[in-house]
């Protein structure tokens, strides 16, 4: 029974089916909304763009306003959505990597719990792999709600009865929405950077922890101690001498 269980466990983990994060689902949903909104931007932006025959053409006030809104949709809006989609792709890769390496990272975090900074394992795990455990889910939900609101406003815009006022209202709405969306993009980028920094620090601390344990064991062998003491600093020699006295 034990052998069968181990083989099943190996098969599940080898196939990448061992872990799943709700963040992955949130990303998929957001990407669908981004694609939908970008389609709406392209459709409305194209319809609003005035027909320009040649460079000498003088646009009317309404045509100029239509051109401004069109550019806001096709240029500013589409670029912002592309940036958000790129950050979500980076987040997906980050979360997938965290899930793939989770057991390794958990074992390292557990191994160095004797160090003061890692005694609170729950806090440490959230700092290093929190995105995989849903720490960003609420913010991603809010971003999706914002995208849905923009989609609804775009679909409700009456392209058949365009006026200067209706364009001004749409421009104001779009700019406000873009200003609200930008912090979510920064939030995703920042979260990835913070978790990677915490993981990097953990592995650095683990390396030093391993070195300290190895040194403590090796000095028990006189033939190894000789070589260690040849290049050890005075501070290290004092610590090693104290360890040997306590042995």
Report, as ranges of residue numbers, the positions in the chain whose pLDDT lies below 50. 1
Sign of the CA dihedral with 132 first, then 78, 180, and 161 last = negative
CA angle, 56 as apex, 52 and 62 as ends, to 5°? 50
- For 111-160, how does the pLDDT look when each residue is reduced to its tens digit (9 = 90+)? 888 888 788 888 889 999 999 999 999 999 999 999 999 999 999 999 99
Q: What is the pLDDT of residue 3?
A: 59
Q: How far apart, in whole angstroms, are the C-alpha atoms of residue 110 and residue 148?
A: 42
Q: Where are the domains of the chain?
A: 21-207
Predicted local confidence at residue 53, as pLDDT: 65
pLDDT of residue 88: 98
Cα radius of gyration rounded to whole Å, the chain: 29
Q: Where are the alpha helices (DSSP H) in the chain?
A: 2-14, 22-48, 61-71, 78-100, 102-111, 121-129, 137-156, 164-218, 222-231, 234-246
Q: What's the pTM?
A: 0.88
CB 12 within 8 A of CB 44: no
């Amino acid at each position: 029974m034990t052998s069968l269980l181990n083989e099943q466990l190996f098969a599940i983990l080898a196939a990448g089916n061992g872990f799943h994060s709700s963040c992955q689902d949130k990303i998929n949903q957001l990407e669908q909304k981004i694609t939908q909104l970008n389609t709406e931007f392209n459709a409305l932006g194209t319809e609003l763009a005035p027909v320009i025959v040649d460079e000498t053409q003088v646009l009317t006030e309404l045509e100029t306003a239509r051109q401004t809104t069109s550019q806001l949709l096709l240029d500013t809006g589409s670029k912002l959505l592309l940036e958000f989609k790129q950050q979500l792709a980076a987040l997906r890769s980050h979360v997938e990597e965290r899930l793939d390496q989770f057991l390794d990272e958990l074992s390292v975090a557990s191994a160095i719990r004797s160090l003061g900074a890692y005694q609170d394992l729950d806090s440490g795990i959230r700092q290093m792999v929190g995105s995989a455990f849903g720490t960003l889910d609420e913010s991603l939900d809010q971003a999706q709600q914002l995208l849905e609101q923009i989609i609804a406003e775009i679909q409700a815009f009456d392209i058949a009865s365009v006026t200067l006022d209706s364009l001004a209202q749409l421009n104001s709405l779009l700019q406000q929405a873009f200003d609200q969306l930008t912090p979510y993009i920064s939030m995703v980028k920042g979260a990835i950077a913070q978790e990677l920094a915490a993981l990097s620090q953990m592995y650095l601390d683990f390396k030093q922890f391993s070195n300290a344990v190895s040194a403590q064991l090796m000095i028990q062998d006189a033939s190894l101690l000789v070589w260690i003491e040849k290049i050890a600093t005075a501070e290290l020699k004092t610590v090693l001498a104290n360890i040997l006295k306590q042995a």
